Chain A
Amino acid sequence: MTRPEIEDLWARFVAGALPEADLRELARLLETDVTLREELLADYRVDSSLRGLPSDRDDGALFVHEFLARAAAERTGSAFVRAVESRARGELPTRGLKVAVGLGLAAIAAGVVSAFVLFETRDSRQAALEQRGTMTLPVADRAARDDAPEPRAPSGAADLVRATGDVSLIVDGERQQGRAGQSAPVGSGVWTGEGSAARLQLAGGTTLEVGPETLLASVFGERVGRGGRVVLVSGVLTVGVPPRALPLLVATRHGEVTATGASFRLDASGAATKVVVLAGRARLQGRSGGEIHVEAGRQALISEGASLDTTPTRGGATTITFVVGNALLGPGDEAVRGRLEALGFNVALRTPAELETGQLQSSPLVVVSSTITSTDLRVPLRDLAVPILSWEESLLDDLAMAGARGSGLGGITRRPVAELVIKATNHPLSAGLRDTVKITTSNTPMTWGAPSPLAIWVAHWPGRPADAALFAYESGMPMLDGRPAPARRTALFLFDDTAALLTPDGWALFDAAVVWTSGR
């Protein structure tokens, strides 16, 4: 092979355009000719360097940030994360008082970053080369470049769009009370107290639902050319990344989860990180090695030393019964079925006429939609020792959960509504929400009931504290007829097509209802 032929093959290989047969030929050639190999490997290293040259100051600052976040997640070398955790758990100084440098990740990160000029609008290396190159670029090319959007520096910030209860931002080493509408600067920490919750919105519409007693560190809404990154130090985090958003990376002390076009929940409260993928697909990497992809409806544990493996989000009897008015699902029932599947259930659709007592008794959860006609039910449900979640208002009295329609103890809201008021803020059914919560994107009729005073009153409609929008009975708790509930019973605010309109908060309440009622 002549030198020009070899160079042509090599140049095509470096450009990623060499067929398999030529690749093998070139590999054989390099295997035997050491001098040629050393020369071309040197070229390959120059090419690699140019592709990944880390010379801009933005990346340097962000790299330090990310390193700190990772060190924090791994609890390496110092006790600063443990310290910030303990501080955040109740010992944080009062607002306005500086956390001592060295005690808090945020303080450290802020101290380091303040020495940098962050987020320059251009990469100085690229700008210098462009300045030189512009002199000889054709006019058309220059025009094309001028029209091209200026490379945007990521703001890196995240928006705190909801703060319920005791929520703190840790910014520049200071603990601040978190308020909805605030911007969490790059590298901020977020802490939620008992019964509290927060929602952060990142670039591209990615949302972080921060559960109670959770500490996030080093929140990056966006990184240069890449998506956001956040460290979940402890607690529970539910993430939603829209399909077209840049990937989000969530690091914990055990590993990392990366996803786009997906929704997943992480629980880093214990000795391992539990990851449940609700929708889409997520990539998990353990600190001690291994990588797996987890699909919707499956879960995985990331822990030190253990190999990664996925399991269905519910092992064994995973099939639940969803009772609907028509097997050709409307938009509300379709949305519910999708959500139930995303939560890891196999969903057996049944119309009332298809229900059999035996089948119901083996179901870990029965979900009853308001699209049914309750008089079509042939199977009595009142004493069925299986958890039931229902939003069929005509069934409330049959189940002894609330009064019959016309009794003034249950029905459909007279006026369309979109918000409800959380009453039992510390109950799992509240999903960590409190106060007035917007649950649908527009006003729509919904279900209400007036349960027993002994029931768990989770939420009511605004201005109507006696009209429960979400209520439940624990197993064994006396119901409206005075007899005990044979299993958990929950009445949800939905109506026929409401589920198609649910906001993230609405789905959070739905998920909480499914999880609590089924006892997962």
Chain B
Amino acid sequence: MQEPAGDDDLIARVRAGSPVAFSELVRRHQGAVRGLLARYLRARDAVDDLAQEVFLAALRGIDGYRGDATFRLWLLAIARRHAAGHLRDQIRRRARGANVLELAIMGWHADALERGVVAARDDELWLAALQDCLGRLPAESAALVSAHYFRAESLADIARRHGKREGALRMTLLRIRQALRECVQRRLMVESEP
């Protein structure tokens, strides 16, 4: 069976003018790029739009990729710059509907992105770690996450259906996210061990 082309081969083909090769690079890395952007931007459309900008920038600047890091890390660096720029822009425009705390958070996120406080390698692994941790959630927690985050059900509706208080569900979700965060940190530490 033929081995799939590596990123380096595809990049060489892109440089030779093959849009098909770049399409394959987009397919391979879109999940990581969108995953990184989704950590800092809450609007799904904004994530996808910005991810497209990232790939367009990568396509335009493909000749600037020297191969010092993996192509994915190079892409994620572009994504971080774009995310920071987008957040700064949102703050400047006082993004429609954003409240004072959301604007403050945008600023802190932009700072973090620009200062590179998150190790690039962690950015690369974070999404996979989160997905892995999601799969380890207890069944009841998984059901709540699925209902609220993936089926977009309101906490009020879930609470009504389960005969629970909305406030209690909010706190439950907070604890689930906390558990996920700790799980992700453990996974990243394991991954970074020699």
Contact = CB atoms under 8 A, between A and B. Distances in A.
Contacts of B39: 45, 48-49
Interface residues of B, number: 69
Contacts of A30: 101, 104, 108
B3 interface: no
Contacts of A161: none
Interface in A34-61: 37, 41-55, 60-61
Given A23-B99, A45-B40, A51 B149 contact: yes
Contacts of B130: 46, 49, 53
B60 interface: yes
B109 A41 contact: yes
Interface residues of A, number: 71
B47 A52 contact: yes
Contacts of B145: 50, 129
A66 B52 contact: yes
B154 to A, nearest CB: 9
A43 B104 contact: no
Given A43-B174, A45-B39, A132 B142 contact: yes
Contacts of A102: 17-20
Contacts of B19: 68, 71, 77-78, 80, 102, 108
A60 to B, nearest CB: 6
Contacts of B104: 27, 30-31
B120 interface: no
Contact of A78 (B17, B26, B181): B17
B105 to A, nearest CB: 6
B56 A48 contact: no
Interface stretch (A9-17, A389-397, A510-518): A9-17
A519 interface: no
A62 B161 CA distance: 34
B44 interface: yes
A123 interface: yes
B31 interface: yes
A41 B59 contact: no
A76 interface: yes
Interface stretch (A90-98, A137-145, A233-241, A477-485): A137-145
A335 to B, nearest CB: 35
A63 B174 contact: no
A64 B42 contact: no
Contact of B171 (A7, A47, A101): A7
Contact of B34 (A54, A108, A130): A54
Nearest to A46: B177
Interface string A113-138: 00110000001011011101111111
Given A129-B142, A140-B161, A112 B170 contact: no
A14 B35 contact: no
A258 to B, nearest CB: 10
B178 interface: yes
Contacts of A488: none
A140 B160 CA distance: 12
A101 B24 CA distance: 14
A20 interface: yes
A42 B137 CA distance: 19
A133 B139 contact: yes
B11 interface: no
A70 interface: yes
Interface in A1-34: 7-8, 10-15, 18, 20, 23-24, 26-27, 30-31
B151 interface: yes
B105 A41 contact: yes
Contact of A138 (B135, B150, B162): B162
Contacts of A20: 99-100
A24 B101 CA distance: 7
A249 B151 CA distance: 24
B187 to A, nearest CB: 13
Contacts of A101: 20
A41 B108 CA distance: 8
Interface string B52-78: 100110011010000000000000000
Contact of B35 (A54, A67, A134): A54
A133 B143 contact: yes
Interface in B96-140: 99-101, 104-105, 108-109, 112, 127, 130-131, 134-135, 137, 139-140
A123 B27 CA distance: 17
Given A46-B130, A55-B131, A102-B19, A112 B105 contact: no
A136 B100 contact: no
A448 to B, nearest CB: 51
A130 B143 contact: yes
A205 interface: no
A116 B31 CA distance: 14
A20 B99 CA distance: 8
B91 interface: no
Interface of A: 7-8, 10-15, 18, 20, 23-24, 26-27, 30-31, 37, 41-55, 60-61, 63-64, 66-68, 70-71, 74, 76-78, 80, 101-102, 108-109, 111-112, 115-116, 123, 125-126, 128-130, 132-138, 140-141, 144, 226
Q: Lowest 7 A-B CB distances belong to which pairs?
A: A133-B143, A52-B38, A129-B146, A54-B34, A11-B170, A50-B149, A77-B59
Given A45-B39, A46-B181, A49-B130, 17 more contacts: A14-B173, A24-B101, A41-B108, A51-B44, A52-B34, A53-B35, A53-B150, A54-B31, A54-B35, A55-B127, A63-B34, A68-B19, A71-B55, A76-B59, A129-B150, A132-B143, A133-B147
